[in-house]
Amino acid sequence: MTQAPQTDRSVPARKVKRDTLVAAICGAVAAGMVGMSFAAVPLYNWFCRTTGFGGTTQVSVAGPVEVLDRQLNIRFDSNVAPGLPWRFVPEQNTVTVRIGEVKTVYYKVINMAEREITAQAGYNVTPPQVGLYFHKINCFCFTEQTMKPGETREMAVVFYVDPAIVKDSDQDPLNTITLSYTFFPLETPPKPVATTETKEQKRL
């Protein structure tokens, strides 16, 4: 009498385990993609600040201890986005600085509109690869700027060029850096309307 072949009951169990593992991996990948989408902007900003990518400048709290004899010309460019009624110009078009020297320059801004406007400046330097060496200690571009109708304001930029730039042989021919700003309008939430109490409310 022949014996009936035995069924390997471990096969379905292995299949279920494999399917569960695949589902878990797919879920993890999907969750990671969602997380990366939320982190994309902060990561990109961090990358730009760290590498100077796209002419993104660096931020420092103080100047370097070393000032070199080598000089660079720093040009200043100013722009406003379409529809922003501001006049925005540098008080000096060009300054000459020594590498490592902390320098303060000013831009003049006038709100030409008859209403209060809030805007913030985007910025970069050219050549773009120099962003890694261009440091700002203070800048109006770090914060939003709210100007009243017809208001005129001087806005300061405090910066230096990192002495580390001389160790970069690609920058040996460099003699001019252009610092460029563009103001963009920001939408501000409407101010709450003050309510006045009625006589009936006051009696209550």
Segment 71-98 shows an average pLDDT of 97
pLDDT tens digit string along 146-186? 999 999 999 999 999 999 999 999 999 999 999 999 999 99
Locate the DSSP E strands across the chain: 58-59, 71-80, 86-90, 94-98, 103-111, 117-126, 134-139, 145-147, 152-161, 176-186
- Lookup: tokens for 24: 């878990």
Q: Which CATH number fits domain 58-186: 3.30.70.100, 2.60.370.10, 1.10.1740.10, 1.20.120.1230?
A: 2.60.370.10
Contacts of 60 (CB under 8 A, 6+ apart): 135, 136, 137, 160
d(CA 113, CA 108): 16
Q: What mean pLDDT is reported for the chain? A: 80
* Higher local confidence (pLDDT), 96 or 25: 96
**Does 200 score more than 70 pLDDT?**
no
pLDDT at 187: 80
Tens digits of per-residue pLDDT, 125-135?
A: 999 999 999 99
Alpha-helix residue ranges (DSSP H) falling in the chain:
10-51, 199-203
Arithmetic mean of pLDDT, 68-75: 98
Per-residue pLDDT, averaged over 73-93, amounts to 97
State yes or no: pLDDT of 22 exceeds 80: no
Is the confidence at residue 57, as pLDDT, over 50? yes
Nearest to 70 by CA among 101, 32, 95: 101
Q: Tell me the pLDDT band of 195, cut-offs 50, 70 and 90.
A: very low
Confidence of residue 33 (pLDDT cuts 50, 70, 90): very low
Total residue count of the chain as it appears in this document? 204
The pTM of the full predicted model, rounded to 2 decimals, is 0.67
State the pLDDT confidence band at 47, using cuts at 50, 70 and 90: very low
Q: Rounded to whole angstroms, what are the CA distances from 177 to 54, 75, 133?
A: 14, 6, 11
Over residues 8-32, the mean pLDDT reads: 56
**What value does the mean pLDDT take over residues 83-97?**
97
Three-class DSSP category at 87: strand
pLDDT at 39: 35
What average pLDDT does this structure show over 93-113?
97
